[in-house]
Structure 1
Amino acid sequence: MEDSQKPDLMDKIVSLCKRRGFVFQSSEIYGGLRSAYDYGPMGAELKRNLMSEWWRFMVHSREDVVGIDASIIMRPEVWQSSGHLANFSDPLVDCKVCGERFRADKAPRKAEGEDAPITLGDKGRAKAAQEKLTEAGVKLQRDGTTLNGAKAGAAGYVCPNCGSPFLSDERRFNLMFRTSLGPVDPIGDVVDIVRKAMAEGADDKALRAKVEGALAASSVYLRPETAQAMFVQFLNVQQSLSLKVPFGIAQMGKSFRNEVTAEHFIFRSCEFEQMECEYFVPPGEGPKYLDYWMNERMKWWRSIGIKVDNLRFRKHDDDELAHYSDGCYDVEYKFPWGWDELEGIASRTDFDLKAHAAGSGKKLTYFDPEAVDPETGKPGRHYVPHVVEPAAGATRGVLAALCDAYDEEPADAEGKGARTVLRLHPRLSPIKVGVLPLVKKDGMPEVARKVVEAFFGAGVNAKYDEQHAIGRRYARHDEVGTPYCLTVDTQTLQDETVTIRYRDDRRQERIKIADAVDTVRKALTETT
C-alpha cells in the first residue's frame, strides 16, 4: 500500500460526518440510496461557505468574470451538439460470478494469463460459484471462500468485487439521466407500440426504433455538467454587458451523472455540485491563459487552508486529452485512498462555440474593433473565441477540506486532553463562534444570548450552546471546526468580560464583551 493511502482515516471521516451532522445517507430510514447523500446542518454550512469563497474569488474579486445561474434542464439539442448524447458513456461490464456491474476502465488490471483468484463473501457463496463454473466447464479449486486456478483473460482486467476474470462483453452505458417534459407519460405510448408490434409480428430492430422515437419525442436530460449553458448563453452575456474578450462566465450548481460506480463517500456520486468558469480568449492565447488559471486556481485552494503538501498538478497525457483540447491539467489532492482529481483546468480551443453555432444555426462570434483582420489587414475582426475552463467539484472540495482538517491529538501524560479536532479554515467553518454560558442560571444564559444576537447583527454565524459540561461543549465545537468559543461566567457578570478560547491551540484569554464581535471578525478577516 502506498504511503499516501490511509483507509482508516476515511472511516473516521464518514463516522464524524454522521455523528456531527455533516453528511447523512440519503433516504437512510428506508435503507439508504448508495449513490446519493444529504448534507446536514454542519455540512450545508461548510459546502455553502466553500462555494461562497469560490464565488468571491472568481467573480466578486475581479472585473473580467461574471456569473449566471442556468436551468438544470435544457433542450436535448444542446447535448446533441456538445457530443454528450453520442459520447458521454462508460464501458459497462457484468461479472458472471458475483453479478457485480462495474466500469471496465476503473477495474483492477492484470496481465493475460496471470493468476486471478476469486474471493467470495462466505464459504456458501464460494461453493455455489464453484458449482456454477463447473457446470459451465470451468474447474477451479476451492480454499474456504477463495476459488483458485482462474487466469486473467485478454481483456486485461478482473472484477473489482471478487477478482473474477469471467466477465460479460463491454457495453456502452450513457451517463445522462433521461426524463420526460410535459403532462403526457411516454410509457403509455411505448406500451401501445409494443402491443401493436406484438400483434403484427414486427422484428426487434423496427420495434426498438419505434420505442426510441416515442421516448425521444418528450425526452429531456438532467445536465451532466454546468459548462454547456455558459457556451449557449455566451452571446447574450457578452452583448448584455458589452464585455470585451478576454472575459469569463462562472456558474455553480447541481449536475447529475448516472455513475456505474459510486465510490469514496461523496467523492463520486450521482448528484453533485460543480464550480465552473468558461474563460473566453482570443485565438492562439489558450496556452497563456491555461498557465494563468493554473496558478490562480492553485492559489485559491491554498488560500482556503488546504495544505501545500496535499496538492499537486497532473498533466494529462496526449492520449487522455479530448479531441478538441490542446492542454489539460488536474489539480489533485492526496485523499485517504491516494491522489485523485479535485479540479480540471483545460484549454478547450474553439470547439464548444463552433459546435453550438453549427447545431443551432446561430452565429456565435465576437467582434473586436481594435484587432487587425489577418485577411484584410484592416482594423476590426470577427472571430470565435477559444476557451480555458477551470472546473472544480464543490462536493469534492468539501471532502478535501474535511480530510485536510481532520486531526487527532493524543492525551497528555496524565491521560487527559485527547481530542478530535477539525482545523478548518475559519471562513469555511460552519459555526464561527460558539457562545457558552458556564451554567444555566444566575443570568448567564441571558447575557450569552445577547452576545449571540450581537454576532447575528454583524453577519457572523454564532451558536448558543448550554447543553452538557463546558469541557464536553468545547470538544463538540472542536469536532465541527468552530474556531472560537466565548464563555460567559461569574466574572462576566462583574466586569462584562468573557473568556475567548482558540480552537487550534486551546489558548484562552479575557476580552471585553463590547470587543467580542470585532475581535472575532478581525480574526476571520486576517486568517489566510
Structure 2
Amino acid sequence: MEKIVSLAKRRGFIFQSSEIYGGLNSCWDYGPLGVELKNNVKRAWWRRMVQERDDMVGQDASILMHPRVWEASGHLEGFTDPLVDCKQCRQRFRADHVTGKTCPECGGELTEPRNFNLMFKTFMGPVEDQAAVVYLRPETAQGIFVNFNNILTTTRKRLPFGVAQIGKSFRNEITPGNFTFRTREFEQMEIEYFVKPGTDEEHFHKWVETRYKWYKELGISPERLRLRPHAQDELAHYAKACVDIEYYFPMGWSELEGIANRTDYDLKRHAEYSGNKLEYFDQELNEHYVPYVIEPSAGADRATLAFLLDAYHEEPDKDEIRVVLRFHPELAPVKVAVLPLSRKEPLTDMAKEISQELRRHWNTEYDDAKSIGRRYRRQDEIGTPFCVTVDFQSPEDQTVTVRDRDTMEQTRLSVAELVPYLREKLDNR
C-alpha cells in the first residue's frame, strides 16, 4: 500500500485533501490521472450495467432528501455505533473493538458506551434549529426507492427491471483508513433491481455472478477475488441473503461490493411513512404487489483502488526495476502517448499533428522531455497501453513506431494506419 500511495501522489492519481493545511483525515483528492481512472471505472460500470441492458434505466437523485426518508429507512434509529472514550488520551473506539474497561492505547479508563449516529447532520436555510435539520445521505439507494412510482410511470418498464445510480454518499465513520478504502465521503455505484416475489433467489444468484464477472473482465486477478456469503447472524435486518465480493487488499480480504436481497422492506416502509402506495401492477396476474429488490452495491473508490493495486507490477529490466501499471485498456487514464525522439522542429511538428488527431479518439498525452527511455518508463508507470514514437525517419516516409506497454514490442507502420491499428488493439483486448 505504501508503494501505491507514493506512486499515486508522484504521478498525480490521488492527493491528500487540503494538504497545504496539513490535510484532513481520510479525505482525498483525485488528481489529473486519478480522475480519469475513476471516471473510466464508472463509465465501464454504466456501460455494462445500464447501456448494454434493456432491463435497466438510470437516475441521479439529490444528496439532500426529506428527513422522513431516513426515518422510514431506519437510519435515524439504527444507523449507530456504540463508542467509548479514553478519559486519559481522549481517543475514541468502537465498543465492540475493545475488551474490558481500559484503553488499548494508554491503559486509561474508558467511558461507558454511547451511541453515535453515522449520518452527517446539517441545516437547510438560514436558521439552525431542529426544524431545519437535514442529513447528507449515507447511501444512494433510498433515492431510488422514493422515485419508484415516478420511474415506473415514465419508463413503463415491466418486472424485472432495475434502476442504477452513481453518486456521493457520506458516513461519519469512526475508524476510516487504509488510503481510499474507507473514507467519510465516498462514491457509490448502486443498482436496485425490482423482481416478482418468488423469483428473487434466482435473480440474486444471477447478479452475484454478473458482478463477479465484471471485475474479472476488467483485469482483476481471479486469485485475488472471492465470494463470501453472509451468515444468518450478520445479515442486515431487512436482508434475506447477502454475498460480498471481496478483494485481497494489502490489509487482507475486504469487501469490494455487496449484493443483497432486500426483500420488499424498503418499498413497504416508504409506503407506510409517506402514505403513498409503492406497488407494481402485474398485467398477466391482474394484481398489485410490492416487488422484492436485489441490490448490487459497489464503491467507485474501492473499485478504483482495487484496479490500481491489481495493475501494479514490478519486474527486472536490465539493471533496473521496471514499474508498470497493467490497466485494462478501457480503464487506463491515458490510452496513447506521442513521443518525438528529439525536440527538433520537423519531428515535433509531426508529433503534435499526430497527437491532435489521436485526441479525437482517445485520451492522449504528448511528451518531449528527457530521454526516450525515461519517457517510456513514465508511461509504463501510469499505465499507458501504447506509445507512438516519431523519429528522424518519420518525416521522410510518414511512418512511426508503436510500442506495446505489456510486451515492449515495437511495430513500424504508416501514419495512415495508426488509428485503425490502435482502435483494434484498444477495443479488442
TM-score over 0.5 (shorter chain) = yes
TM-score, length-normalised on structure 1? Answer: 0.79
1:71 aligns with 2:81: no
1:334 aligns with 2:248: yes
Aligned to 2:74: 83
Distance 1:170 1:443 in 2: 73
Shift of 1:321: 0.6
Shift of 1:95: 2.6
1:468 counterpart SS class: coil
Counterpart code for 1:17: A
Aligned to 1:175: 118
2:393 counterpart SS class: helix
Give every structure 1 segment of 4 or more consecutive aligned residues whose post-TM-superposition deviation is greater than 4 Å: none
Structure 2's unaligned 5+ residue stretches are: none
Q: Which deviations, in whole Å up to 9, do the C-alpha atoms of 1:181-228 show, x marking residues without a partner?
A: 11x231xxxxxxxxxxxxxxxxxxxxxxxxxxxx32001111111100
1:406 aligns with 2:397: no
Rg larger in structure: 1
* Structure-2 change in CA distance of 1:158 and 1:295 (3 Å): farther
Q: Map 1:442-457 to 2 at 5 A.
A: 442-457=345-360
Q: Map 1:381-420 to 2 at 5 A.
A: 381-412=287-318, 415-416=319-320, 418-420=321-323
Shift of 1:165: 7.3
Counterpart code for 1:336: P
Q: Which deviations, in whole Å up to 9, do the C-alpha atoms of 1:284-308 show, x marking residues without a partner?
A: 2211111000000001011111010
The partner residue of 1:44 within 23, 35, 40 is 35
Aligned to 2:338: 435
Q: Map 1:499-518 to 2 at 5 A.
A: 499-518=401-420
Aligned to 2:235: 321
Distance 1:406 1:299 in 2: 21
Q: Which deviations, in whole Å up to 9, do the C-alpha atoms of 1:492-528 show, x marking residues without a partner?
A: 112111111111121112121111112112111111x
Q: Map 1:102-501 to 2 at 5 A.
A: 102-105=93-96, 107=97, 153=100, 159=104, 162=105, 164=107, 166-182=109-125, 184-186=126-128, 215-371=129-285, 380-412=286-318, 415-416=319-320, 418-458=321-361, 460-501=362-403
Distance 2:107 2:294 in 1: 42
Structure 1's unaligned 5+ residue stretches are: 1-9, 110-151, 187-214, 372-379
Aligned to 1:524: 426
Distance 1:163 1:58 in 2: 49
Query: Is the 2:260–2:294 contact (alpha carbons within 8 Å) kept by the matching residues of 1?
Result: yes
Distance 1:31 1:320 in 2: 38
Aligned to 1:94: 85
Distance 2:103 2:412 in 1: 62
Instruction: State the aligned residue count.
Output: 429
Shift of 1:453: 1.4
1:235 counterpart SS class: helix
Distance 1:335 1:256 in 2: 23
Query: Is the 2:329–2:426 contact (alpha carbons within 8 Å) kept by the matching residues of 1?
Result: yes
Distance 2:394 2:142 in 1: 57
Counterpart code for 2:7: L
Shift of 1:97: 4.2
Query: Is the 2:89–2:106 contact (alpha carbons within 8 Å) kept by the matching residues of 1?
Result: no
Distance 1:97 1:503 in 2: 55
Distance 1:509 1:469 in 2: 20
Distance 2:393 2:30 in 1: 39
Aligned to 1:29: 20
2:138 counterpart SS class: coil
Counterpart code for 1:391: S
2:284 counterpart SS class: strand
Q: Which deviations, in whole Å up to 9, do the C-alpha atoms of 1:212-263 show, x marking residues without a partner?
A: xxx3200111111110010000111011011101100000011111111111
Shift of 1:99: 2.3
Counterpart code for 2:399: T
Shift of 1:423: 0.8
